[in-house]
Chains A and B, each alone.
Chain A
Amino acid sequence: MIMKFFLLLIPVLFFFNSLISQDSLYRQKKLTTLDIEAFYSFYKQDGNNSAVTGGIGTEELSVNNFGFNFGLTTDTSHTFIFETYVDVITSASVDNIDFVKSSASETDNHLAVGIGYQYQSKKSPFLVGAKYLFGLESDFTSNGFNIWTSVTSKDFSRNLSFSVTCFFDDLRWGRFNEDEGYKPTTLIYPVELRYRQWFDIYRRYTYNFNLGYTQDVNRHLSMQFNLGVIVQQGLLSTTFHRIYFSDSDSVVVENLPRQRNQLPLSIGLNSFVTSSWILKAYYLFYCDNFGIIANTFAIESPVKLNYKFTLYPFFRYYLQTASYYFKPFREHSVHDEFFTSDYDLSAFSSFKTGLGFGFYPDSRFGRSRWSFNNITLRYAYYWRTNRLDAHMISLLLNVAKN
């Protein structure tokens, strides 16, 4: 019996000795992860209530969208963020700004860039980040920033977050025009209304505050509440939208109040219904001082076919009341102080439905440190009761380097 004990003890002693020996060879290594997302989307819409021509006329428009998101995380705490995308926009309605078919106003390009940094503490459940935002279009320059912070409970079941996003926009045109010296010089009005300056301001300011709370209800169910407050000030009209009156033959430019206060409130519930089926329900309530009250109901239901393939069917219903300042073509009075015939601010319901497909191989490229994480293809059909409809198809590719 004693012999058996010693026979067992010897290999145990060797085992612990090897552990002690390895300590002297141990080197702490900081982990670095580079995460890259590349995406492409195509959007095509059509309708018959263009605000450029006073609430009637084609709204045919197509957008090709290309973009990349980079996230470099070092030591699991520091994340450097770079995001960019380009929209190439072709619009038949915007072509009617000067009533010249296939003129320079038919196509436009929009560039957006975001550069940021996020810090996540290892010792406390605290996270903070900031991002600079830039947007550029022929008739638009936007500079902005986004700051966010969040704190998570020790058992990871609760999270409280707060973010602030501000934009400072210049709505003048001329940046892509050689005749203007590639400088913003003027607001763009409909061609027949350029005999005067309709607005003496050209800037718009947007301040967006959001408070979020996430709570795990049980092992299968999680919920999130979000409360937002958005204040916009400055030139809120779209300067190339026309207004026609019922009691006058004159044509003017759209005119909206100089401040808009918006309040969105949302709740989301995500739940595993079975081991491979998730139900994600979402409700948003919105109101603002333009008189718009809106409700959104959305459901997305990921179905995991296996650990690599997932289907994402979804459906969204949206309902909004009209703005105080909206009237259709030739229904405004010349005595109104504010007026718009933009059907985006009218009363309507909208439906969006579609299907996404996700492939998650989570596999490495040979012996390299690169891994192929995810490819997602998504199609959505959008339809409004005032007869605007749109098709969207998106492709996302995600790779990472460890």
Chain B
Amino acid sequence: MFLKFLQKTLLLLLFTVFLMSCQSVKPYQRAYLNDRDMAFGSSAAKSMELKTQAYREGAVDTGKGKSAGGCGCR
């Protein structure tokens, strides 16, 4: 119970600290942020790994849960 509370508090603190420290980034300063490897999300090359994790583990990732059916498992 305490561990859960600690995790939630830590996440909230991280969120607040980062929001407070955000700098305004002008369009001509976005060279690094627009790099293809800085994008969030997964490419199709990782799709088998994500399916394996969804089927072989109890947890489901955010926005990457079960895809179009299959395997009858959970």
Contact = CB atoms under 8 A, between A and B. Distances in A.
Q: From DSSP, what is the main secondary structure of chain B's interface residues?
A: loop
Interface of B: 4, 7-8, 11, 14-15, 18-19, 21-27, 29-33, 35-40, 43-49, 52-53, 55-63, 65-74
B43 A139 contact: no
Interface string A219-251: 110111111101010001011100000000000
21 contacts: A43-B48, A133-B68, A135-B70, A139-B72, A163-B63, A165-B65, A206-B65, A208-B66, A210-B63, A215-B22, A226-B63, A227-B62, A228-B61, A239-B72, A266-B62, A272-B35, A382-B49, A382-B56, A384-B56, A394-B46, A396-B45
9 tightest A-B CB contacts, nearest first: A142-B69, A135-B69, A135-B68, A226-B62, A41-B48, A286-B59, A294-B59, A396-B45, A292-B58
Given A218-B25, A265-B11, A345-B58, A212 B68 contact: no
Contacts of A156: 27, 30
A50 interface: no
Contact of A292 (B4, B14, B18, B59): B59
Interface in A61-85: 63, 65, 67, 69, 85
B69 A219 contact: no
A262 B60 contact: yes
A297 B8 CA distance: 15
B65 A219 contact: no
Contacts of A134: 68
Contacts of B63: 163, 208, 210, 212, 226, 228
Contacts of A360: 36
Nearest to A208: B65
A320 B22 contact: no
Contact of A230 (B21, B39, B56, B60): B60
Contact of B7 (A39, A285, A288, A395): A285
Contacts of B18: 215, 217, 223
A376 B43 contact: yes
A42 B23 CA distance: 43
A270 interface: yes
A378 B45 contact: yes
A350 B53 CA distance: 10
Nearest to B74: A236
B35 A140 contact: no
Given A206-B66, A292-B59, A37 B44 contact: yes
Contact of B25 (A216, A268, A304): A216
B65 A230 contact: yes
A290 B70 contact: no
A339 interface: no
B38 to A, nearest CB: 5
Given A304-B37, A310-B37, 16 more contacts: A43-B52, A69-B44, A157-B25, A171-B72, A215-B18, A219-B30, A225-B15, A228-B61, A232-B74, A284-B59, A320-B57, A320-B58, A320-B59, A344-B56, A356-B45, A394-B49
Contacts of B71: 110, 137, 140
B47 A222 contact: no
Nearest to B32: A272
A206 B45 CA distance: 25
A155 B44 CA distance: 29
A169 B9 CA distance: 37
A113 interface: yes
Interface string A135-149: 111011110100000
Nearest to A210: B63
B62 A212 contact: yes
A219 to B, nearest CB: 5
